[in-house]
Amino acid sequence: MTWTVAAIDLGASSGRVLIGTLSADGVLTVDECSRFPNAPVRVPFDSGDDLQWDVLSLWEGIRAGLREAARRGPVDAVGIDTWGVDYGLLDADGRLLGNPMSYRSERTATAVERVHSALPPEELYALNGIQFQPFNTMFQLVADTCLARDALTRQMLLIPDLLGYWLTGQRICEVSNASTTGLIDPATRRWSPRILTTLREGLHADVPAILPPLVEPGTVVGPVHLGSVDLRTHTGAPSPLIAVASHDTASAVVAVPATHDHSDPGATFGFISSGTWSLVGVELDAPVRTPASRRANFTNELGLDGTVRYLKNITGMWVQQECLRQWRDEDAGRQMPWPEVTAETEAATPMRTLFDVNDPVFAAPGVMTTRIDEWAERAGEPIPRHRGEYLRSITESLVVAYRRALREATRLSGSAIGAVHVVGGGSKNRLLCQLTADATGLPVVAGPVEGTAVGNMLVQLRAIGALRGGLDALRLVVERSVETDHYAPTPGAEVLWDEAERRVLNPRRTPAA
């Protein structure tokens, strides 16, 4: 028998509904059913502006996508994955109190200070193992306690769980995404009592009162109600919503086709989930919460089946996406086509300008070329002269960050990496993958490009009994189903990247404060 599941997969720049069909011989095929745009929207208030998510247009996109899925045939299950950390607040009737804020909204500076004065960063990291990011949910929630809507708030739902509530009426909090809140103890996979008490008693932020019950990925949430359209399984029952590994990165890591492709059997795999962000790290059985890990800003997010995703957030394709947006605006709406982006990147002089992609100056939306120029000027790097040089510099600077993160992940976790798997959009970027192999001296396996959706589907398929086994069994399905591209490191290339890393880490001139 064949099984069909629908994955709702929302990223920071677009949302999709995809259909996955598992054939009788265990091969998964993925078809896009619908795609809709997503971007944080700048909205003014009395003394400034916020970046908010247009969650209602996402909801419309999801409903239209599911209707299309139902039109194509039976749907045995539905699952949702999205970016992490952000949430909606509900009142006592379950009504959404406003658009969810985007993690790119700069509104947490005071909240970070307040949290850190109650729980110093070292103590916090020893409890939650989560890298410091000013947008971690805990800081956003503390910032929200100063707003008028706080008085009305009865519940917090992370984005996938909010959409899941709208589809099923059930309120839960799936644990892989909950780990991005900074409120979870990654060893117990439960809310951290110490953190919650400190927020409530030390900061008068009654966060514990608004948290829904935690569930592990694979939990059946409830039947999906779509209003006028019936979503039905092959047996005619209402299609269930499955809580998948709802943090997009967690789903992407499920879909890494790593089972037996390492030359060294003692080695694990490194992963790069490459999209708007690049999430770079290794999969572990237990969290690493050492002081060295905190200083390197590594995070212990939770994965499927008790795993820990030990990784670092790297500003990924974001800088390039913002440059392309900027050039489109400057060119009266003309979008630079992909073949042109690739050709100009490949033609530009290698290693001309390098910068630290993780510098917070690149976090907010806006004109990136000026920020790259300023960074380069401060660091004594040449300023890019044309688009190709900007694009090349972004790609190579990303590779420097990948190499560094993979080396740190190995050192800090004590694991050896046999191969690096690139999943997501970046897996189609040949230059990025080859340079990653060169810079790390490791073989790179690229694909699936639909990593997040594939991981989402695999967890659904296992939950409804269409697949059995652990992560290895799920990853075997990916190996069988997806063609991957393989890149071998160019002999001797690694040393060039030693110098590249030095230029980024120790620029000739000290950047201005």
Residues of the shown chain interacting with ligand LFR in the complex, contacts defined by CB under 6 A: 12, 83-85, 103, 247-249, 275-277, 279, 313
CB of 444 to ligand LFR, least distance (A): 20
* Rounded-to-integer distance, Cα 428 and Cα 436, Å: 13
Given 248, 261, 285, 498, the catalytic residue: 248
Q: How far is the CB of 357 from ligand LFR (least distance, A)?
A: 14
- Does the annotation mark 248 as catalytic? yes
280: how many CB neighbours lie within 10 A of its CB? 28
Per-residue burial over 324-341, b = 16 or more CB atoms within 10 Å of its CB, e = otherwise: bbbbeeeeeeeeeeeeeb
CB 176 within 8 A of CB 303: yes
Residue 55, both tokens: 């969650």
State which residue, 135 or 487, has the beta carbon closest to ligand LFR. 135
Number of H helices, E strands in the chain: 18, 21
CB atoms within 10 A of CB 89: 23
Q: Cα 467 to the chain's mean position, in Å?
A: 25
Amino acid at 10: L
Kindly tell me which of 320 and 353 has the beta carbon lying closer to ligand LFR: 320
Residue with tokens 């967690």: 250
Q: Which is nearer to ligand LFR, 166 or 277 (CB)?
A: 277
Q: To the nearest whole angstrom, how small is the minimum distance from the Cβ of residue 54 to ligand LFR?
A: 16
Closest approach of Cβ 277 to ligand LFR, in Å?
4
Q: Least distance (Å) from ligand LFR to the CB of residue 249?
A: 4
In the complex, least distance from residue 48 CB atom to ligand LFR, rounded to whole angstroms: 22
Q: Which is nearer to ligand LFR, 103 or 402 (CB)?
A: 103
The β-bridge relationship of strands 299-302 and 308-315 is: antiparallel
Q: If we measure between CA atoms, which residue out of 132, 119, 507, 513 comes closest to residue 295?
A: 132
Nearer to ligand LFR, 81 or 501 (CB): 81
A 10 A CB-CB count for 343 gives: 13
10 touches 466 (CB < 8 A): no
Q: Which is nearer to ligand LFR, 277 or 487 (CB)?
A: 277
| Beta bridge partners of residue 272, listed in sequence order | 280, 422
List residues with catalytic annotation: 248
